[in-house]
């Protein structure tokens, strides 16, 4: 009998591409369509031997004749393939429907949600459960370095899922994480984001409240103690609630974080217990808290805390989360390039703070592209300037569709640059609308001792790789 044929519309999305990999490894016949694929997803799809048809065209579906069509949330109803599916009343499904079918039918789910830290925390939870011998399955919204993908197929009881509050598909405007049947959950933070679909913070809080209400009485919720919406979430939760954070009342309290080069020594205490010391291959207080949330889940699942140092120590990290993509030694000085996914003001601030703490005394060059639907609009216009105060130089890059956004709606990166300079904390801040001009300026500016951090949720017109290649040629030839 011929294998079930699946067609992934928008296969280049991180969740879609990883889920396509899951299905390919399970024996499905997988095909997809997209435009403008780029690494690492293009590399994974090529490695898996999954054909990708481009551009979007109804003929793609007719030619492949799939049994099931999975439509990613990047696809709009006006997409030619989606339009054809709707006009011909072809059965279709969202990625959450497929996750339910493939994973939730045979595993209990542990869902990691929150405005910040989801991907790292999901990957770290899946990694430590694997090291503990639990053999979990997992679906991460990123690429775990050692695996070169963001999924894992296990035979154990648990599936670890990254729970996104963004909507599911053009035909299902409910948040993705409502579909994941959480038995246990982490909520790292609740802040305003996704201004294209959420009108205000109250709407986001309500989405998280509904998510938390789905946890059964026999399940559990791990939530940041200091989050301003913790009490609202706790009141609606039917299950046991475990808190983590820096305050005395937290169930799991972070006592200290000590920078140790490219790692951190984290000390925490479970209420009434003895201090536990974890060496984690991550930097920054925000990542120490992510690790503490994971420790709280492991403890709740009955894993012996004395084993935690071993479970955490070899975590390889996630691509594009404070990822060092290039480093050169020049006499007594280094040049270091770091690629990061930060885009929300809180994430930008915490990323820069972590780098400043671990690369003490070196010049920090921050290169930021506000590219998400929220960040490239005015929502955070007045907030971004203060997020860069621990940088020495700031370069702001306009997104490729910057000019298509109505002037009264889009963020004014020139005004942000001026406001950054007025803080008095940075040497200079510049705005760029031409990627080539940004590359030229960076190559003139970077000198020994610099740490350059690129922050964008997209490819940034391949600027990080262009700079790396140029420095390789200059410094290694």
What is the CATH classification number for the domain harbouring 47? Answer: 3.40.50.720
Determine the pLDDT at residue 119: 96
User: Any idea which of 1-10, 249-258, 385-394 has the lowest mean pLDDT?
Assistant: 1-10
pLDDT higher than 80, residue 431: yes
Q: What is the pLDDT of residue 39?
A: 84
Considering the domain boundaries, does residue 358 fall inside one?
Answer: yes
Are residue 454 and residue 439 in the same domain, yes or no? yes
**Where among 281, 313, 345 does a domain terminate?**
313
Give the CATH number, domain containing residue 419: 3.90.190.20
Can you read off the two tokens belonging to residue 69? 């069509």
Mean pLDDT of the chain: 95
pLDDT average, residue stretch 381-388: 96
Q: What percent of the chain has pLDDT over 70?
A: 99
Phi, psi at 436, each rounded to 5°: -65, -35
Q: Is the pLDDT of residue 477 over 70?
A: no
Residue range(s) defining the domain that contains residue 30: 5-92
70 and 21, same domain (yes or no): yes
Q: From the CB of residue 308, how many other CB atoms can be counted at a distance below 10 Å?
A: 22
In a domain? residue 318 = no
Token digits for 288? 């120490």
Token duo for residue 169: 């598909």
Q: What is the number of structural domains in the chain?
A: 3
| Closest CA relative to residue 413, chosen from 392, 434, 427, 436 | 434
Q: Are residues 273 and 385 in the same domain?
A: no
Contact at 8 Å (CB) between 262 and 275?
A: no
Pair of tokens at residue 26 = 């399970």
Q: Is 154 exposed, middle or buried (0-12, 13-18, 19+ CB in 10 A)?
A: middle
CB-based contacts of 34, cutoff 8 Å, min separation 6: 10, 11, 12, 52, 54, 56
Question: Residues 6 or more apart from 97 whose CB is under 8 A from it?
Answer: 70, 179
Instruction: Answer yes or no: are the C-beta atoms of 213 and 238 closer than 8 Å.
Output: yes
- pTM for the complete prediction? 0.94
Q: What is the mean pLDDT of residues 238-249?
A: 97
458-475 pLDDT, tens digit per residue, is 889 999 999 999 999 988
Residue holding tokens 């103690």?
225
Residue 322 — φ and ψ, nearest 5°? Answer: 50, 40
Q: Given pLDDT bands bounded at 50, 70 and 90, which one contains residue 5?
A: very high
Place of tokens 């409502």: 178
Q: Is the pLDDT of residue 1 over 70?
A: no
Residue 378 lies in a domain: yes
What CATH number is attached to the domain comprising 198? 3.40.1190.10
Domain boundary, last residue among 278, 294, 313: 313
Evaluate whether residue 14 is within a structural domain.
yes
pLDDT band of 241, cuts 50, 70, 90: very high
Quickly state the pLDDT bin for 2 (edges 50, 70, 90).
Answer: low
Shared domain check, 68 and 101:
no
Residues 179 and 286 in one domain: yes
pLDDT of 394 reads: 98
**Residue 257 has what pLDDT?**
96
CB 435 within 8 A of CB 397: yes
CA distance 355 to 347: 12
* Average pLDDT for 199-227: 98
Q: Write down the residue that tokens 């000390």 correspond to.
A: 267
| Tens digit of each residue's pLDDT (9 = 90 or more) over 110-158 | 999 999 999 999 999 999 999 999 999 999 999 999 888 999 999 999 9
Tell me the backbone φ, ψ of residue 180, rounded to 5 degrees. -95, 5
CA-CA distances (angstroms) from residue 265 to 170, 312, 359? 44, 11, 15
169-209: per-residue pLDDT in tens? 999 999 999 999 999 999 999 999 998 899 999 999 999 99
In whole angstroms, give the CA distance from residue 3 to residue 13: 24
One domain, residues 53 and 197: no
- Largest CA-CA distance found in the chain, in angstroms, rounded: 69
- Residue 137: is it exposed, middle or buried by C-beta count within 10 angstroms (0-12/13-18/19+)? buried
Q: Which of 280, 313, 346 is the last residue of a domain?
A: 313
Residue closest to 363 by CA, chosen among 348, 347, 352, 376: 352
Alpha carbon dihedral 158, 160, 165, 167, in 10-degree steps, equals -80
Do both 112 and 261 map to the same domain? Answer: yes
């Amino acid at each position: 009998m011929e294998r079930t044929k699946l067609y992934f519309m928008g296969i280049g999305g991180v969740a879609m591409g990883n889920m396509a990999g899951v299905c390919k490894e399970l024996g499905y016949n997988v095909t997809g369509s997209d435009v403008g694929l780029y690494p690492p997803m293009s590399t994974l799809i090529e490695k898996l031997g999954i054909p990708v048809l481009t551009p979007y065209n109804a003929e793609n579906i007719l030619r492949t004749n799939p049994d099931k069509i999975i439509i990613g949330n990047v696809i709009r109803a006006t997409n030619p393939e989606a339009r054809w599916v709707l006009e011909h009343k072809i059965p279709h499904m969202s990625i959450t429907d497929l996750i339910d079918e493939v994973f939730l039918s045979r595993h209990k789910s542990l869902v990691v949600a929150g405005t910040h830290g989801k991907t790292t925390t999901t990957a770290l939870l899946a990694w430590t459960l694997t090291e503990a011998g639990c053999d979990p399955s997992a679906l991460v919204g990123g690429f775990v370095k050692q695996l070169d993908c963001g999924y894992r197929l296990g035979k154990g009881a648990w599936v670890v899922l990254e729970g996104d509050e963004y909507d599911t598909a053009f035909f299902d405007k409910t948040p993705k994480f409502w579909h994941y049947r959480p038995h246990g959950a982490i909520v790292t933070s609740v802040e305003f984001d996704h201004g294209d679909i959420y009108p205000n913070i109250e709407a986001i809080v309500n989405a998280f409240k509904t998510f938390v209400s789905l946890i059964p009485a026999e399940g559990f919720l791990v939530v940041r103690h200091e989050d301003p919406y913790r009490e609202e979430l706790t009141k609606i939760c039917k299950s046991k609630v475990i808190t983590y954070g820096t305050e005395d009342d937290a169930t799991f309290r972070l006592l200290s974080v000590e920078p140790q080069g490219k790692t951190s020594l984290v000390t925490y205490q479970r209420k009434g217990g003895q201090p536990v010391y974890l060496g984690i291959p991550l930097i920054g207080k925000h990542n120490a808290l992510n690790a503490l949330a994971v420790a709280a889940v492991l403890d709740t699942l009955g894993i012996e805390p004395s084993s935690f140092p071993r479970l955490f120590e070899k975590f390889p990290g996630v691509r594009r989360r404070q990822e060092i993509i290039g480093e050169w030694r020049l006499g007594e000085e280094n040049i270091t390039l770091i690629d990061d996914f930060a885009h929300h003001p809180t994430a930008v601030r915490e990323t820069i703070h972590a780098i400043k703490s671990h690369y003490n005394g070196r010049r920090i060059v921050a290169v930021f592209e506000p590219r998400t639907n929220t960040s490239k609009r005015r929502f955070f216009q007045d907030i971004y300037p203060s997020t860069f105060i621990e940088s020495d130089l700031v370069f702001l890059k306009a997104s490729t569709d910057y000019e298509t956004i109505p002037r009264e709606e889009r963020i004014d990166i020139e005004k942000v640059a001026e406001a950054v300079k007025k803080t008095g904390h940075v040497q200079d801040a510049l705005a760029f609308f031409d990627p080539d001009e940004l590359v030229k300026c960076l190559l003139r500016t970077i000198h020994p001792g610099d740490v350059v951090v690129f922050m964008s949720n997209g490819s940034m017109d391949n600027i990080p790789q262009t700079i790396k290649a140029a420095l390789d040629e200059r410094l290694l030839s």
